Amino acid sequence: MVVAEFRDTIYPGLVPTGNVSRGGDKPWHTVINGENYHALKALTWTHRGKVDAIYIDPPYNTGAKDWKYNNDYVEGDDLYRHSKWLAFMERRLLLAKELLNPADSVLIATIDEKEYLRLGLLLGQVFLEARITMVSSAINTGGVPRKGSFSRSTEYLFFVFLGVCKPLPQALPADWNPVQTKNKFILRWRLMRRDGTNAQRADGPNSFYPIFIRKLDDHAVFHSVGDAYYGSDLSEIETPDGCVACWPIRKDGSFGTWQNGPARLKELIKSGYAKIGPWRGKDTALYYLNQGERSKVERGQFPLIGQNPDGSIITDISDQHIMFVPSDLWRIPSHDAGNGGSRLLTSIIPGRKFPFPKSLYAVEDALRFFVTNKPNAVVLDFFSGSGTTAMQ
Please indicate whether residue 152 or residue 275 has the higher confidence score (pLDDT): 275
Q: Which of 105-109, 237-241, 244-248, 372-376 has the lowest mean pLDDT?
A: 372-376
- Whether pLDDT at 362 is above 80: yes
Specify whether 93 is located in the same domain as 154: yes
Specify whether 197 is located in the same domain as 278: yes
In this prediction, residue 227 carries a pLDDT of 95
Mean pLDDT, residues 116-137: 96
CATH number at residue 379: 3.40.50.150
In this prediction, residue 275 carries a pLDDT of 95
- Whether pLDDT at 53 is above 60: yes
Specify whether 331 is located in the same domain as 306: no
In this prediction, residue 142 carries a pLDDT of 77
**Which of 88-92, 138-142, 159-163 has the highest mean predicted lDDT (pLDDT)?**
159-163
Eight-class DSSP state of 282: G
Neighbours of 118 (CB within 10 A): 16
The answer to whether residue 21 sits within a structural domain is no
**Which of 79-88, 100-109, 303-312 has the highest mean predicted lDDT (pLDDT)?**
100-109
Specify whether 311 is located in the same domain as 331: no
Specify whether 239 is located in the same domain as 206: yes
> For residue 151, what are the domain limits?
36-179+323-391
81-86-92 Cα angle (round to 5): 130
232-261: pLDDT as tens digits: 999 999 999 999 999 999 888 899 999 999
CB 255 within 8 A of CB 248: yes
- Whether pLDDT at 320 is above 60: no
CA dist 7 → 4, 10, 86 (Å) = 9, 9, 21
| Whether the predicted model's global pTM rises above the 0.85 cut | no
Give the chain's end-to-end CA distance (angstroms, integer).
50
Q: Which of 290, 309, 272, 286 is nearest to 211 (CA)?
A: 286
CA distance linking residue 334 with residue 175, whole number of Å: 10
Long-range CB contacts (within 8 A, 24+) of 184-188: 184/322, 184/324, 185/317, 185/322, 186/317, 187/289, 187/293, 187/296, 187/297, 187/302, 187/315, 187/317, 188/289, 188/293
In this prediction, residue 248 carries a pLDDT of 96
Mean pLDDT, residues 74-85: 74
Mean of pLDDT over the chain:
86
The answer to whether residue 26 sits within a structural domain is no
- Whether pLDDT at 69 is above 90: no
Q: Domain end: 284, 315, 346, which one?
A: 315
Q: Domain end: 315, 348, 367, which one?
A: 315
Mean pLDDT, residues 140-163: 88
In this prediction, residue 307 carries a pLDDT of 93
- Whether pLDDT at 5 is above 80: no
The number of folded domains in the chain is 2
- Whether pLDDT at 284 is above 70: yes
Neighbours of 35 (CB within 10 A): 10
Chain centroid to Cα 256, Å, comes to: 34
The beta-strand segments (E) located in the chain are: 53-56, 68-69, 72-73, 104-111, 131-138, 154-163, 170-171, 190-191, 211-216, 219-225, 244-246, 274-276, 286-288, 304-307, 313-315, 323-324, 329-330, 379-380
Q: How confident is the model at residue 147 (pLDDT cuts 50, 70, 90)?
A: confident
